[in-house]
A and B are shown apart, each in its own frame.
Chain A
Amino acid sequence: MVSEALSFILQLLIFPGFLFIICLAFFSEWVLRKFVARIQNRMGPTYTGSGGILQPFADFIKLLGKEDIVPAFAERTYFTLTPLLCLTLPLTALFILPMTGHRALISFEGDLIFLAFIFTTLTIMVFLGGFLSGSVFSMVGGVRAATQLLGYEIPFLLALFGPAIPASSLSISKISTWQAQNNAWGLWTQPIGFGVLVICLLAELELLPFDIPEAETEIVAGWNVEFTGRRLALVRLGRDVELVLASTILADLYLGGPQQVWIIPPIIIFLAKMFACLLLIGYLKTLFARFRIDQVLSGMWKYVIPAAMIQFIILKLIW
């Protein structure tokens, strides 16, 4: 009993818990920056650690050591709460996603709904943080984030719940196990859903074609314009964890998640799938230029939502 509890605490804190996820987050930011730089014919971070691998860590430490400013017009509580929640919400979500084996660290029937809840809360936190930090630019950024939510929320949920139908379960661990055992990856059985989920995750992460809430060239830095020092460090780390979260969702729900192949342990297979998804996200991010907010809304409602619905209908007809 005691040893069980101890091993659970160790799992929670070290592997595959906090420490592992945070290292993975730093590492995936480096991978993404390097990958984007290579596509753009640049070198990317080079001299910090070998090949620049410590660059995200150096950024984080530097931000921790900077002056911490709370603007006079900011709402202090939310100004502090937003960066914290930006980090803790995606971290919590990663605990319910299977990484090392068939079962996630914490898994229960209906955790898919919990995941959807966390994603919506994140966007609402972004909106509140932007709206209450007391700058015009951050207000515009926050409102844009909330507006964008109206566009991608419905197709996101449809694509998120698609894989639950063939597996007839609302638990992420069971869905990915079912896909791995029946060799029916969501990518092959419902390709439209996969595309829709990738598009919506790009919008959720505010990555390039949809980085409207942060649009540097229009509204300075969008909703996080007023964050300095520690708060900015947490926001940035939260973004990295969200990146890991997005690729993990794709790997678990559409690529079968961690599975044992021959003698290769599941964690290696899982990491391979996760980084494949990460690179796909990075590739799309580099490929596109930013849309306008009205283009995003009309595009989502005209094309992406119908596509997600068609996928749902096809699924219902087959299963």
Chain B
Amino acid sequence: MIPTARLGLLRWARRRSPWIIHFNTGGCNGCDIELLAALTPKYDVERFGILLKGSPRHADILAVTGPVTNQTRDRLLRIYEQMPEPKYVIAIGTCAVSGAPFWDCYNVVGGVDKLFPVDVYVPGCPPRPEAIIQGFVKLLEKMEAEEDE
């Protein structure tokens, strides 16, 4: 009885306070500006308790924008490994989803899912802030379904 109640509280807390860290793996900055628009006054995702954190140690969600280049590959992996469990990944923009027009460039690895599992894909070039917020909401739903099992 007590463990389930405790898990229920924890699940509630996790859904209510997802903190993100933003990493650009070599995109054109289009997606980054849209992500920032989602964070700033007009869309303000702090309504859902989402905060932008500077340190991967503090964050729950890794928001990646841009195609993964050979240069950023190791850095991205390191940041992913520095995050404490449970952690989630959201790929923002077609570049991060699949590599988009850069998929067969000599210096591009491809989409983020070549390196580690991605929870939510937000396609678009760049996706609108509404779409990014929708992506976050999808991720929160997924978190809930996962922990129910």
Contacts and interface: CB of A to CB of B under 8 A. Distances in A.
B41 A62 contact: no
A228 B58 contact: yes
Nearest to A43: B47
A66 B53 CA distance: 16
Given A41-B41, A65-B10, A66-B86, A226 B46 contact: no
Contacts of A40: 41
A47 interface: yes
B73 interface: no
A51 to B, nearest CB: 11
Given A55-B16, A221-B58, A228-B57, A61 B9 contact: yes
B54 A220 contact: yes
Interface residues of B, number: 23
Given A44-B47, A45-B47, A229 B84 contact: yes
Which size bracket describes the interface of A in this complex? 35 or more
B57 A227 contact: yes
Contacts of B10: 61-62, 64-65
Given A221-B54, A221-B55, A228-B57, A62 B14 contact: yes
A14 interface: no
B85 A58 contact: no
A45 B17 CA distance: 10
B117 to A, nearest CB: 17
A68 to B, nearest CB: 7
B142 to A, nearest CB: 16
Interface in B67-124: 84-86
Interface of B: 9-10, 12-14, 16-17, 40-41, 44, 46-49, 53-55, 57-58, 60, 84-86
